[in-house]
A and B are shown apart, each in its own frame.
Chain A
Amino acid sequence: DQQVKQNSPSLSVQEGRISILNCDYTNSMFDYFLWYKKYPAEGPTFLISISSIKDKNEDGRFTVFLNKSAKHLSLHIVPSQPGDSAVYFCAASRRGSQGNLIFGKGTKLSVKP
């Protein structure tokens, strides 16, 4: 029973355009959401997070949007660059869970020059 779902295994985008990666969750107790980027043969790198008290958080080219009523979050990358090509994982946690994160299965983003 997946609590965090990334329904698109892959996404291909042209350089300079917007990349939108989506994530759905089922547990209404989640109050903290994160995005990680992972290159092959490396560990995941923390990108950006958002607390459930917010609906948007921005950091440079990366923006995360949270829609609590729909239990949906998305990561926007604008403009996309070839170096953004990686697997992106969505993760969620709830307060009191001792820092445990529940990860989605990932979306592989390819940004074409």
Chain B
Amino acid sequence: DVKVTQSSRYLVKRTGEKVFLECVQDMDHENMFWYRQDPGLGLRLIYFSYDVKMKEKGDIPEGYSVSREKKERFSLILESASTNQTSMYLCASSLEALGNQPQHFGDGTRLSIL
């Protein structure tokens, strides 16, 4: 079974802090994704990566950056946290870029910015 692990289930940070959310997958997947989920808005794509050191903006990249130094690890960075970034953050991975493959999700990080 695919395992996608997010480093924290719950996180509380202060406005202006730099926040790191970590995600690791154990199935040698090429693609990795970061979403946020908010009530009534579904899942919105922040950034994705289809290879090491490659990154692409999703639908809502503003205020975020990402890092993928190793294939199994994809980090989401909130450069200067703001209260409107309080949300559930979900990491996902999938097998290959060109084929039709499902994404597999971690359990999420509930981030609160005070």
Which residues of A are at the interface with B, using a C-beta cutoff of 8 A? 9, 31-32, 34, 36, 41-46, 49, 51, 89, 93, 95-96, 98-101, 103-106
The reply to whether A103 and B48 form a contact with Cβ atoms under 8 Å apart is no
Question: What's the minimum C-beta distance from A3 to chain B, rounded to whole angstroms?
Answer: 11
Known: A98-B56, A106-B42. A49 touches B97 (CB 8 A): no
In the complex, whether B31 has a CB less than 8 A from a CB of chain A is yes
Q: How many residues of B contact A (CB 8 A)?
A: 30
Provide the bound-state CA to CA distance between A45 and B4, in Å.
11
Q: B4: which of A41, A43, A96, A101 is its contact (CB, 8 Å)?
A: A43
The reply to whether A103 and B43 form a contact with Cβ atoms under 8 Å apart is yes
Question: B11-19, B63-71, B74-82, B104-112: which one contacts chain A?
Answer: B104-112
The reply to whether B102 and A46 form a contact with Cβ atoms under 8 Å apart is yes
Instruction: Report A-chain residues with C-beta under 8 Å of the C-beta of B40.
Output: 9, 105
Interface on chain A toward B: helix, strand, loop, or mixed SS?
A: loop
Instruction: Report A-chain residues with C-beta under 8 Å of the C-beta of B33.
Output: 99-100
Which residues of B are at the interface with A, using a C-beta cutoff of 8 A? 4, 9, 31, 33, 40-45, 48, 50, 56, 58, 90, 92, 94, 96-98, 100-108, 110
Closest to B101 in A: A99
Known: A41-B108, A99-B94, A105-B42. A49 touches B48 (CB 8 A): no
Provide the bound-state CA to CA distance between A49 and B42, in Å.
19
Instruction: Report B-chain residues with C-beta under 8 Å of the C-beta of A46.
Output: 102-104
The reply to whether B50 and A98 form a contact with Cβ atoms under 8 Å apart is yes
The reply to whether B108 and A43 form a contact with Cβ atoms under 8 Å apart is yes
Closest to A47 in B: B102
